[in-house]
Structure 1
């Protein structure tokens, strides 16, 4: 099994507002990336567990929401490992946009 890709995104929203914004965020973000499909998105309190598919490969992970940051952990299949740096940058930029723009 490969090492998980971890991204931490700071925010100033508080836990409840961050969860509220993220609850619709994954599907919305995926719709703007043609090669990404959300297979599962399940919330359990402040944690979202997800499974996505890109380029025919499945990746899974979870998002933990804290008062001042969001921690995203994704396990990429070996075929997508070569895109890990780009995926990390995309997760960070889309997460920051979602957690900082005015709602």
Structure 2
């Protein structure tokens, strides 16, 4: 009986460890180059994200960096800091691995 209880306990703990919710990804994350932080947040049961920190936020002239490579002319002049990078991503519930980069 003790062996069966232990097995069930570890099985249940394993299921909890692999279950994902929006809250598992909400927070601050470094980009791949680690020169910017993207903050992910819940919004209407979806996940959105914006740039909240950049290692080098200014261009060579001292102005805040903008998005000149954006194909949409109206968006080329948006400042990158506080720029909404992703919005309304629904949580699918599929098993994924998220690695938290910041506290």
Does TM, normalized by the shorter one, top 0.5? no
Give the number of the structure whose alpha-carbon radius of gyration is greater: 2
Q: Which has the higher strand share?
A: 1
Q: TM-score, normalization: structure 2?
A: 0.35
Which structure would you say has the larger RCO, counting Cα contacts within 8 Å and 6 or more residues apart?
A: 1
- Please, what TM-score do these two structures have when normalized by structure 1? 0.35
Higher helix share: 1
